[in-house]
Amino acid sequence: MLIAVPFAVVVGLLIGTLTSLFWPLYLFVALTAVGLSVALLRDRSNRSTYAISGDRLILANSSGRLEVRANEIIDASLIERSGARDYIMQKMASPTLDPAQRKEIGAAFTRFCTVDIGLRSFTLGIGRSMIDRMPHAKHDLVLLRSRNGVDHLLSPAYNQDLVDSIGRMLRKSPDA
């Protein structure tokens, strides 16, 4: 949406200057304001917390809570957004899956991730490539792989700390 605002205002100003009709400018400004509001609400509504308690990793957000025992975890590693996108696309590419199953796999994968990796964005790839090139977007996510095949993408504020904590939890767990 932030990319669309300058273009909408410039187009509205050009139309207003060339035709002396400024209602398109007002319409574009109103539409971008609504779009920015929706984008902000969408980004703010997705919050998750991650905690380690004994031999369990606790994942929680507004849609629920999941406790993953140490013996269910294969590993946790840092991953960048484009890598996460490619990873889930490969998992969803199975010809045996129907569209509903693909959607379910994608939703489960990003259920506890608070950042958009490009699976649910409306930018036609423009924002995705811009975000992928940002310095803080490199290795800012954590890929949690489970023995049951349901992997989770996490977006902690301190990603390396979470990976280290999960590693310590796995080393301490007698049955991991």
Domain harbouring 74, CATH code:
2.30.29
Question: Domain residues for 16?
Answer: 4-44
Residues 124 and 164 in one domain: yes
Assess whether pLDDT exceeds 70 at residue 127. no
Burial class for 112, CB neighbours closer than 10 Å (0-12, 13-18, 19+):
buried
pLDDT per position as a tens digit, 109-124? 888 888 777 765 555 4
Print the SS3 string covering 19-88: HCCCHHHHHHHHHHHHHHHHHHHHHHHCCEEEEEECCEEEEEECCEEEEEEHHHEEEEEEECHHHHHHHH
Phi and psi at 4, nearest 5°, equal: -75, -30
Co-location of 24 and 89 in the same domain: no
Are residue 27 and residue 68 in the same domain, yes or no? no
Percent of the chain with pLDDT over 70: 82
Q: Are residues 165 and 113 in the same domain?
A: yes
- pLDDT tens string 72-81: 999 999 998 8
Q: What is the pLDDT of residues 85-105, one digit of tens each?
A: 888 888 888 888 888 888 888
Do 141 and 114 share a structural domain?
yes
Give the count of domains, the chain. Answer: 2
Domain identity same for 132 and 81: yes
Q: Per the structure block, which two tokens stand in for 49? A: 């917390």
β-bridge mates for residue 146, sequence order: 73
Q: Is 143 helix (H, G, I), strand (E, B) or coil?
A: strand
- Location of structure tokens 């484009």: 82
Could you tell me the two tokens for 90?
């490969």
Tell me, yes or no, whether 72 and 107 share the same domain.
yes
Instruction: Tell me if the pTM is above 0.75.
Output: no
